[in-house]
Amino acid sequence: MMTKQIGDTLIRTVDLVKEFEISGGDFFGRNKPRVHATSNVNIQINKGETYALVGESGCGKSTLGRLMLKLIEPTSGHVEFEGININELPSEEMREIRKKMQIIFQDPYASLNPRMNVYDIIAEPLVTHHVCKTKDETKERVKELMERVGIRPEFINRYPHQFSGGQRQRIGIARALALQPQLIICDEPVSALDVSIQSQILNLLHDLQEEFNLTYLFISHDLSVVRYISDRVCVMFLGKVCEIGNTEDIFGNPLHPYTKFLIDAVPKPDPFLRKENKQLLHGDIPSPVNPPTGCRFHTRCPYAKDICSEIEPEMNNVDNKQVACHLI
C-alpha cells in the first residue's frame, strides 16, 4: 500500500462535553437524569490520515462524530476545523465549512430518502451550493460520481428501494463526495453489510482516499476492520478517551487494560488461535447515565486499585501513545 502523505491537524476537539437530558426527574421536571455522552474529549485528526474511533455501546463515538460535524451542539468545549472555531461561526459561514466535511452513515436503508431518486440524492449537495451552472452539467457530474463509486449510470432515475444494501451505501458515498470535501466521517459504514460486500466498500473507501487525498474519521466497533483501514486509533469507553496511538502500536502493544481486553475479545477467524483460558472482561457495560466515579473503567477492570475509583486519570504520553490510566 502506498505510503500516505499525512499533513497537519485538519480538525480537533477541545474539551468537548456533551450531555443529554432524558425523561425522569421530579414532578417539576428538575433534576432530570443526564446521559454523559462525551466528557472532556480532546482529539486531533491530521490531514490525509484515517483516524479510527473505537468503542462499545455508550462510549460516545457516534456522538463525537456528530459533534465534529456540528449536527449537534456541545454542552461545553468546541471544535476547530483548520484552526477555526466552528461553534462560534454564524450559519452562513458554517455552510461554507460544511462543504469541506461530509458524513457516511451506517444504515443504508435509512440514509437515503425513499422519495428521491439517485439523481436527486447525489445532486442535492451540488444544487444546494450552486456548484454547477446548468442542469446538464449537474447530471454529468452525478453520472461521474456514480461511475466512480461503482453504480451504473443508467440507474440514475431509480429509487433507493430498487437497490441492494451495498449499492445504497455506494450512493451515500457518492453523495458525500459530491462537494469534494476534505474530511469524511464514516459512521460504521460497513457494519450493516454482508461480509463479501464489506470488502468491496472498504476497498472503495481506500481507493477514494488515495485518489482525492481524503481524511477519514472512521467510527466502528469492529476492530478487524479498524486494523485494516486506519492509521491511528482512539479507544473510547463511556465518553472518555482511554488510549490513542498508531494502529500498529495499539494492536501490537496495547497499554490500557480496556484496549487489551477489547482486542482479545474479538473472535478471530482462525481456530488455531483459540485460547483455552482466555481472560474475559466480566460484568456489563455501565450506563452512561451514572458513570462510575474516578476512572470510568474501574468497575470492570481486574487490576483496579483504590485510586482508580477516586481520581480520573489524565492522558499521558507513554511509548509513542497517549494513555489515560493510573497503572501506567
Partner 1 sequence: MEDIKVTDNETVEQLRQDYENMQAEIADTDGIMDKIKAMIKNNKLATISLIVILIFCFCAIFAPVVAPHDPTLQDYDNVRAHPSRDHILGTDELGRDVFSRIIYGARISLVIGIVPTTISMVIGTILGLMAGFMGKKVDFVIMRLADIMLAFPSLLLAMVVMYTLGASLINIFIALSVVNWAGTARVVRSQTLALKEKEFVEAAESIGVKKSVIMLRHILPNCLPSLIVLFTMDIPGSILSESSLSFLGIGAQPPASSWGLMVVNGKQWLFSEPWVAIAPGVAILILVLAFNFLGDGLRDAIDPYMKE
Partner 2 sequence: MDELLRINNLKTHFFTKKGVVPAVDGVSISVPQSSVIGVVGESGCGKSMTAMSIMQLVQKPGRIIDGSIELEGEDLLKYSGDNMRNIRGNKISMIFQEPMTALNPVYTVGRQVTEAIRIHHHDIDKEEAKKMALDIFNAVGIPEPDRRFNSYPHQLSGGLRQRVMIGMAMVCNPRLMIADEPTTALDVTIEAQILFLMKKLQEERGTSILLITHNLGVVAEICDYVYVMYAGKVMEQANTFELFKNTSHQYTEGLMKSIPKITAEKERLYNIKGVVPNLMKLPKGCRFCPRCEKAMPRCFMEEPPLYKVKTVVKNAGEHYARCFLCESSEVMNDD
Shortest distance in whole angstroms from residue 279 CB to partner 2: 10
Distance CA 161, CA 109 (A): 8
Task: Identify which of residues 178 and 323 has a Cβ nearer to partner 1 in the complex.
Answer: 178
Which cell numbers hold the place of 242? 482511554
229 makes contact, choosing from partner 2, partner 1, none, with CB < 5 to 8 Å by partner type, with partner 2
199 makes contact, choosing from partner 2, partner 1, none, with CB < 5 to 8 Å by partner type, with partner 2
DSSP 26-74: STTS-S--EEEEEEEE--EEETT-EEEEE--TTSSHHHHHHHHTTSS--
Please tell me whether residue 11 adopts helix, strand or coil conformation: strand
Task: Identify which of residues 94 and 328 has a Cβ nearer to partner 1 in the complex.
Answer: 94
113 makes contact, choosing from partner 2, partner 1, none, with CB < 5 to 8 Å by partner type, with partner 1
Instruction: List interacting residues with partner 1 (CB under 8 A).
Output: 66, 69, 71, 94-95, 98-99, 101-103, 105-107, 110-116, 124-125, 128-129, 152, 158-159, 161-162, 172, 175, 179
Which cell numbers hold the place of 80? 476547530
DSSP 68-94: HTTSS--SEEEEEETTEEGGG--HHHH
274 makes contact, choosing from partner 2, partner 1, none, with CB < 5 to 8 Å by partner type, with partner 2
Cα angle vertex 13, ends 192, 172, to 5°? 30
Task: Identify which of residues 194 and 310 has a Cβ nearer to partner 1 in the complex.
Answer: 194
Task: Identify which of residues 10 and 242 has a Cβ nearer to partner 1 in the complex.
Answer: 10
Task: Identify which of residues 13 and 198 has a Cβ nearer to partner 2 in the complex.
Answer: 198
9 makes contact, choosing from partner 2, partner 1, none, with CB < 5 to 8 Å by partner type, with none
Task: Identify which of residues 1 and 26 has a Cβ nearer to partner 2 in the complex.
Answer: 1
C-alpha distances in angstroms, 66 versus 22, 32, 61?
19, 23, 9
107 makes contact, choosing from partner 2, partner 1, none, with CB < 5 to 8 Å by partner type, with partner 1
Shortest distance in whole angstroms from residue 147 CB to partner 1: 15
First-to-last CA distance in the chain? 34
Measuring CA to CA, which residue among 83, 10, 74 is closest to residue 37? 74
> Per DSSP, which regions of 117-261 are E strands?
183-187, 215-220, 232-237, 240-246
Please, which residues have CB within 8 angstroms of residue 196's CB and are 6 or more apart in sequence? none
Distance CA 1, CA 130 (A): 37
Distance CA 247, CA 223 (A): 10
Task: Identify which of residues 99 and 148 has a Cβ nearer to partner 1 in the complex.
Answer: 99
Distance CA 101, CA 98 (A): 5
Shortest distance in whole angstroms from residue 39 CB to partner 2: 20
Shortest distance in whole angstroms from residue 57 CB to partner 2: 5
124 makes contact, choosing from partner 2, partner 1, none, with CB < 5 to 8 Å by partner type, with partner 1
Instruction: List interacting residues with partner 2 (CB under 8 A).
Output: 1, 56-57, 164, 166, 194-200, 202-203, 206, 221, 223-225, 227-229, 251, 261-274, 278, 280-285
20 makes contact, choosing from partner 2, partner 1, none, with CB < 5 to 8 Å by partner type, with none
Task: Identify which of residues 116 and 132 has a Cβ nearer to partner 1 in the complex.
Answer: 116
